[in-house]
């Protein structure tokens, strides 16, 4: 995901993803691992526009 999310947002995200993944996959929460990759806006693009330029559209 793009950089800029708060720690609180990440905590909530991993909690919800863990709960729902465990439910859907019928497994224990302890079996779920989540990796968060934060990407700088200069390292991704959409329709030929760098992410860091998207704010200025």
What does the pLDDT read at residue 48?
A: 93
Sign of the C-alpha dihedral, residues 3, 35, 6, 12?
Answer: positive
- Asked if residue 52 has pLDDT above 90, the reply is no
Q: 7-56 domain in CATH 3.30.429?
A: yes
Domain boundary assignment for the chain: 7-56
Q: Over 80: is that where the pLDDT of 56 sits? A: no
Report the predicted TM-score, pTM, of the whole model to 2 decimal places. 0.76
Q: Which residue has the higher pLDDT, 4 or 24?
A: 24
Q: Give the per-residue pLDDT at 54.
A: 84
- 12-51 pLDDT tens trace: 999 999 999 999 999 999 999 999 999 998 899 999 999 8
SS in 3 state form for 20-57?
A: HHHHHHCCCHHHCCCCCCCECHHHCEECCEEHHHHHHC
């Amino acid at each position: 995901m793009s950089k800029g999310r708060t720690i609180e947002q990440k905590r909530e995200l991993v909690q919800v993803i863990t709960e729902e993944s465990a439910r859907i996959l019928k497994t224990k929460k302890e079996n779920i691992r989540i990796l968060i990759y934060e990407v700088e806006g200069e390292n991704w693009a959409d329709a030929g526009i760098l992410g860091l330029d998207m704010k200025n559209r």
